[in-house]
Amino acid sequence: MTADRSQHDTPPLTPTEVDTGRLEEELRRTRGRRSLLVVLSGSAVGTLVPLDISELTFGRDPGCDVRLGDDGVSRRHARLVAQPDGAWRLEDLGSTNGTSVNGEPVERRVLQEGDRILLGHTVLKFVRQAEIDSEQQARIYEMSVRDPLTRLYNRRYLEDRLQAEVAYARRHRSFVALLLIEVDRLPELVQVRGRPLGDRLLAELALRMRGQVRSEDVLARFADETFAVLVREIPPPGVMVLAERIRSSAERLRIDAGEGEVSVTVTIGAATFRGSTALTERGLLDAADRLLSRARSEGRNRTCAEATG
């Protein structure tokens, strides 16, 4: 709903832009009057979507108010429209796979408390805000942005922050860096020694890395054996120092596996950009991935770093 959004001078809502502070503020301001959606399945599971404007569109298109990264969702899939009596009407927008409520295909329907909406492979539950307290909302939000094993941020949260940090760096012509940290030969270790040991290693590495980064840095589990650190306003020499600190800390880790100790090393690709109009999230991510591949090909347990701009 571009007209409403432009009046408020805010970007289109994506699920990961919802934070607990905003939700609690909205609760105090609109107690008993607003409703929300809770994502129950799909890539955005646990996310809360406040229904805080008069119309919201759902789909994969960047112009939608709620963007869903689901291949089963059409570019403009459905919309919710506020009614004069405070109810919400769901409308399908001619989507390829259709819209269902409680398992029944619908073209339009006024939602009732607890209704489950299916868009592609994503299930959302309609909840009146009075039914969820602020503590429960905070717990659901934390579940949606944290990796359950390491308790670090997950990839979805990192990618959301990456977009914001790149925009900040462009505006201020400041440094932004992304480190991709791969645990060397973890799949082989898991195959030989089992998944529980691999999980212990990942959890211990995450704990060590927490002690190496600043509170304002974003430390995330990016993939099964890959972590990521997003940092702002550190020049290239400082990024290299950070990467080497993380690498050497991992190298010192020892885990008692019952049949002797297990050690681990990590390989790091670190890309630093100075903000410019040419800087993009994809460009920063691709640069870090390329440097990680180079470090891996050079023998692992090393850092490859590069600065651009």
Confidence band of 133 (pLDDT split at 50, 70, 90): low
pLDDT tens digits, residue range 57-71?
A: 999 898 899 988 787
DSSP 3-state of 62: coil
Find the mean pLDDT for residues 104-111. Answer: 96
CA distance 250 to 247: 5
CA dist 100 to 67, 124, 212, 237, 276, Å? Answer: 18, 11, 47, 54, 44
CA distance 207 to 164: 26
Find the mean pLDDT for residues 270-291. Answer: 91
Percentage with pLDDT > 90 across the chain: 59
What pLDDT score does 42 carry?
Answer: 64
> Hey, what are 11's tokens?
């970007």
Q: Which of 122, 105, 119, 137 is nearest to 35 (CA)?
A: 137
**Chain mean pLDDT for the chain:** 85
- Report CA dihedral (24, 29, 34, 37) to the nearest 10 degrees: -20
CB atoms within 10 A of CB 107: 12
Confidence band of 237 (pLDDT split at 50, 70, 90): very high
What pLDDT score does 62 carry?
Answer: 84
Level-2 CATH architecture, domain 2-144: Sandwich (2.60)
CATH 3.30.70.270 residue window(s) in the chain: 155-308
Q: Is the pLDDT of residue 276 over 80?
A: no
CA distance 124 to 184: 38
Per CATH, is 155-308 categorized as 3.30.70.270?
Answer: yes
β-pairing verdict for 266-274 and 303-308? parallel
Q: Is the pLDDT of residue 73 over 90?
A: yes
β-pairing verdict for 303-308 and 35-41? unpaired
Contact indicator for 129, 31 with CB cutoff of 8 Å: yes
pTM for the model: 0.62
Q: Is the pLDDT of residue 9 over 70?
A: no
pLDDT tens digits, residue range 178-224?
A: 999 999 999 999 999 999 999 999 999 999 999 999 999 999 999 99
CATH 2.60.200.20 residue window(s) in the chain: 2-144
